Copies of this chain bind each other. A is one copy, B any other.
Amino acid sequence: MTTPSRPVPPAKTAPTGSAATPPDRPTAAPSLAERLAAGTGGILLLGLTPPRRSATAEQAADIADVTLRRLAGLDLDGLILYDIDDESDRNPDERPFPYLPTMDPAVFHAEHLGAWPHPVIIYRCVGKYPAPDLTDWLRSVDPGRVLGVFVGSSSADKPVHTGLAEAHALHDEVRPELELGGVAITERYAQRGDEHLRMLTKQSRGCLFFVSQVVYDVDTTKSLVSDYYYACAERGIAPRPVIFTLSVCGSTKTLAFLQWLGVNVPKWLENSLRHSADPLAESYRRCLATATDLVEFCTELGLPFGFNVESVSIRKAEIDASVALAADIRRLLLPPHRP
């Protein structure tokens, strides 16, 4: 395949921004890449969806500006920039929020996030890209500022340009120094019971960390990482850090969207959100309880971990709550959970 349907833009060197490293994060501290490579936890990320592709350069710059000002008070270790795919193939139900093509995450990073002083983790839905384009991106990227997460197809039937195994092989061949992560999906574990073995396969192909899908089913998530931990122990290999993604849910529409995305929301939690006079406050409280539970569980288990906070909706109240949640989670991650 030589004519890509959607080329991966090469990464550009982002201009040096004016935002300084926050005073309590001395620049001598290990970088995100170093900490993930060393397998230490206590990492806090914030996940962002790039602006829609129809945005003008000025609009995208405004969005970046507003976003960075929102994040200025947070002590984040990095950002995740999602690569949004039209996943309507995996769910015949109507999508509660419309699918809108978004800007390429590497372009958004290079052109608009120059003021961001920390690394970014760029997602790649590898099936979207022909191998030569993925190769070009791998060659162009700066591993000192960027990490990657390769995501496989959202359904087995979907035609892909590049499969996940092929993408991992390309990474190994072209740019092994780019630190790579994989996704870990609780709901796939619930259905098939082998997600922890998939994590081991990804690990054997070079993945140094994992990022979960949005966690609402904390109990099954604990089972997934427990099975992963003990499967590593059986093989005598060190478990890699698992970054748990949390997202608040401020309305029944957002709840429907989470469920459409395949997130399993336990019935009791769904009931409490549906019957709450303030579902956003309720879900905030539940997200914090989930984080507390996972901190305790992973610490006791000995699994390195971290959190990624995102908002699956673009409503201001939910985005603001995500930022507040990230600040609260940072406090949970204070030593001893952080190097």
Chain A residues at the B interface, C-beta cutoff of 8 Å: 217-220, 222-223, 225-227, 230, 266-268, 271-272, 275, 297
Contact = CB atoms under 8 A, between A and B. Distances in A.
A219 B266 CA distance: 8
Contact of A219 (B219, B275, B297): B219
Nearest to A221: B268
A187 to B, nearest CB: 14
B297 A223 contact: no
Nearest to A218: B219
B297 A226 contact: no
Nearest to A301: B272
Given A223-B266, A226-B268, 5 more contacts: A217-B219, A222-B268, A226-B267, A227-B267, A268-B297
Q: Which of A217, A218, A267 has the most CB of B within 10 A?
A: A267
Contact of A226 (B220, B226, B272): B272
Nearest to A219: B219
Contact of A227 (B222, B271, B297): B271
Contacts of A220: 266
A230 B223 CA distance: 28
A223 B220 CA distance: 14
B275 A222 contact: no
Contacts of A297: 268
A271 B226 contact: yes
Nearest to A217: B219
A129 B74 CA distance: 67
Given A268-B297, A297-B268, A275 B230 contact: yes
Contacts of A223: 266-268, 271
A263 to B, nearest CB: 15
Contact of A266 (B222, B272, B275): B222
23 contacts: A217-B219, A218-B219, A219-B219, A219-B266, A219-B268, A220-B266, A222-B266, A222-B268, A223-B266, A223-B267, A223-B268, A223-B271, A225-B268, A226-B267, A226-B268, A226-B271, A226-B272, A227-B267, A227-B268, A227-B271, A230-B271, A230-B275, A268-B297
A272 B220 CA distance: 14
A220 B230 CA distance: 24
Contacts of A267: 223, 226-227
A191 to B, nearest CB: 14
A275 B226 CA distance: 11
A164 B209 CA distance: 54
A222 B218 CA distance: 13
Nearest to A193: B267
A195 B222 CA distance: 25
A297 B272 CA distance: 10
A322 to B, nearest CB: 24
A33 B297 CA distance: 40
A272 B268 CA distance: 25
Contacts of A272: 226
Contacts of A222: 266, 268
